[in-house]
Amino acid sequence: MNDLLRRYGVGLTTAFVLLTAFWLLILVILPNIYLFENSFRPYLPIAEMGGPKDTYSLDNYIVFFKSPIHINVFVWTVLYSSFVTVICFVIAYPMAYYLSKVASNKMLPTLFLLLFVPLWVSEVLRSFAWFIILAFKGPLNAGLLGLGIVEDPIRWISGFRGVMIGLVYTYVLFMLFPMYNAIQSLDTNQIEAAEDLGSPSWYTHWRVILPHAKPGIASGAVMVFMLSAGSILVPTLLASTNSRWFTEIIYQWMFESQDWNTGSAYAFLLLILCSVFVTVVMRVFRVKLSDIAK
C-alpha cells in the first residue's frame, strides 16, 4: 500500500482500492453468497417462497449423487479438462522457451501481436469458426482429402474431439504467458553453464529450466484446468450428442428448467470438486499455493 501511495498518490490509490473492492464484493462475493444460499433452498413457486415449505436442506446436492449420468458427465469433464491442460503445456512450453530465450527483442512485439490477434475476436465467433472448420464437409476435411492424407472425411465433431480442439485453442495462451514470465526470469548464464558442463539439451530443460518454470507451469495449469472445466460456449457449440459437459447440465437446470436452486448446487459442486482435484494434483507434484501466486 505504501508503494502505491508513493507511486500514484492518494487519489489514484484510493480509486484503485475502491474499484478492486467493488469488483470483489459486488461482482464476485455477493453473487456467490446469493447462489450458495439458494443452493440449500427448494425450488418453489413464487407464492410459496418464504412459506413453511421454504426450508434449508441438502436435497439439491443429493440430486447430483443420486444421478449416475450426471456423476459420469462430471468425471469425463474433469478427465478431458486434464487432457486439455496437458496438451496446452506440451504446445506452450516450446513457445514460451523460444519467446523468452531464443527470439530477438525486435521480433518479440510482432510475435506477441500474432498471439494476441485471436483474442480480439469474441469466444463465440471463434467457436463458430471452429465449428465450420471441423464440419464433416468443412475446409479441414476438404484439405486433408485434397492432399491425399485421408481417404474418407473424418467426423471431427464426434465424441470429445471438437471440444478438446476448441478448448486448447481458446486457453493455450493462459498456459503460455505464465510460463513465459517464469522462464524469462531465469538467468541465461545457468543454461550456458549447463551446456558448458556437457549437459544434453533435453537434460538442461529437465534439470534447469523446468524446475525454475514450476511456478509458471502451476499457475497456467490451474487456470487452464478451471477455465476448461467451467467452459460453456465451446462445449455447447463443438460437442456431439455423446459428449456432454458438466456446465451444460448446470445451464439446463438454470435456464431450461428454471430451477436455479438445483443449478446453484451443481455449480458449487463443480467449484468444490474441481478445487479438491487441483489440490490433490498440487500435492502429487509438490507444488504450493505460493508457487502459483508468484
pLDDT digit string (tens) for 102-137? 888 888 888 888 888 877 888 888 888 889 998 888
> Measured between alpha carbons, how far is residue 160 from residues 86, 132, 150, 193, 267 in Å?
15, 16, 20, 44, 22
The mean-pLDDT minimum among 80-84, 146-150, 244-248 falls in 146-150
The pLDDT of residue 95: 93
In a domain, 93, yes or no: yes
Cell of 202: 533435453
- Is residue 276 within 8 Å of 268, Cβ to Cβ? no
pLDDT for 84: 94
The whole-model pTM stands at 0.85
| pLDDT value at 174 more than 80 | yes
Look up residue 275 and give its amino acid: S
157 Cβ partners below 8 Å, 6+ apart?
131, 134, 135, 136, 238, 239, 240
Supply the pLDDT for residue 87.
95
CATH number of the CATH domain containing 218: 1.10.3720.10
- At 83 the pLDDT is 94
Reading phi first (left if > 0) and then psi (alpha if -120 to 50, else beta), residue 9 is in left
Q: Establish if 46 belongs to a structural domain.
A: no
Q: For position 259, what pLDDT does the model report?
A: 85
For residues 27 and 229, the answer to whether their CB atoms sit within 8 Å is no
**pLDDT tops 80 at residue 35:** yes
In a domain, 7, yes or no: no
Instruction: Give the integer Cα–Cα distance in Å for 129 and 49.
Output: 44
**pLDDT confidence band for 88 (50 / 70 / 90):** very high
pLDDT of residue 104: 83
- Please write the tens of the pLDDT for every residue from 41-84: 888 777 777 778 788 888 889 999 998 999 999 999 999 999 99
Residue 2 has pLDDT above 80, yes or no: no
In a domain, 96, yes or no: yes
pLDDT of residue 97: 92
Q: What is the pLDDT of residue 3?
A: 67
Residue 220 in domain = yes
Computed over every residue of the chain, the mean pLDDT equals 85
Residue type, 261: N
- Domain-located, residue 243: yes
- What range defines the domain where residue 190 resides? 61-293
Residue 31 inside a domain? The answer is no
CB 282 within 8 A of CB 218: yes
d(CA 96, CA 122): 24
The grid coordinates listed for 75 are 468425471
Quickly state the pLDDT bin for 85 (edges 50, 70, 90).
very high
pLDDT at residue 102, as a whole number: 86
Q: Is residue 162 part of a domain?
A: yes
Q: Where are the alpha helices (DSSP H) in the chain?
A: 2-24, 30-38, 59-65, 68-97, 108-116, 123-133, 139-146, 161-184, 188-196, 201-204, 210-212, 214-229, 233-238, 246-251, 260-284, 289-293
**pLDDT given at position 190:** 86
Task: For Cα atoms 104, 108, 110, give the angle at the middle one, nearest 5 degrees.
Answer: 125
**Domain tally for the chain?**
1
**What separation in angstroms does the CA of 51 have from each of 54, 215, 261, 281, 292?**
5, 51, 16, 44, 46
User: Is the distance from CB of 177 to CB of 213 less than 8 angstroms?
Assistant: no
Q: Each residue of 191-211: pLDDT tens digit?
A: 888 888 888 888 888 888 888
